[in-house]
Chain A
């Protein structure tokens, strides 16, 4: 039972354009959501997070949107740069457990 889903395994975007990565979840108890970026053969690095009391959080070129009624979150990268090419994982947790549940990842390719 996949509680966190990233339905697009890959995404290709032109440099300078917007990248939109999507993530859906099924557990209504999740109240904290994170995005990680991962290069091959390296550990994931934390990008940005959002708690369920907000519907938007912004950090530089990265913005995460949360739609609780749809159980959907998205990561927007504007403008996209070639260095953004990596696999992006969304993750979710409920405050009590503290465990993170990860999606399968979306591989972003930003072409010059």
Chain B
């Protein structure tokens, strides 16, 4: 049963703590992406990775970091430098980066920083 999993679904952290969100896919996709969604706004790209051991900043990368050590996994760390971390975070993957192929999304993680 192929898909994208994100864990946990809900996450609470104290201000000033780093937190890592998990994203795993078994679709054998090359490209993976992290987005954040805020109320009344579209999805904004944080980071993306086209191949293993390579990643690029998206539109709102400040305060976030990622790694891509395995094809299946693309964890996102929300650091204490992120000024407004409370949001709904979505991970996605696509067969390849570029070209005409859609992105598939995971169920999301809602992060609340207290």
Contacts and interface: CB of A to CB of B under 8 A. Distances in A.
B98 A43 contact: no
Given A42-B108, A46-B104, A104 B40 contact: yes
B105 A45 contact: yes
Interface residues of A, number: 26
Interface in A86-106: 89, 91, 95-100, 102-105
Nearest to B50: A98
Contacts of B9: 41
A41 B108 contact: yes
A50 to B, nearest CB: 10
Contacts of A95: 98-100
B42 A98 contact: no
A51 B99 CA distance: 10
Interface string B90-104: 101010111110111
A99 B96 CA distance: 11
A99 B42 contact: no
Chain A binding surface SS class: loop
B53 interface: no
B56 to A, nearest CB: 9
B41 A104 contact: yes
A98 B106 contact: no
A89 B42 contact: yes
B81 to A, nearest CB: 23
Interface in A69-112: 89, 91, 95-100, 102-105
Contacts of A19: none
A78 B56 CA distance: 40
Nearest to B91: A43
A51 to B, nearest CB: 6
Interface of A: 4, 6, 9, 32, 34, 36, 41-46, 49, 51, 89, 91, 95-100, 102-105
Given A43-B107, A98-B97, 20 more contacts: A32-B100, A36-B105, A41-B9, A42-B107, A43-B106, A44-B43, A45-B105, A46-B103, A46-B104, A49-B102, A96-B98, A98-B50, A98-B94, A98-B98, A99-B45, A99-B48, A100-B45, A104-B40, A104-B41, A105-B42
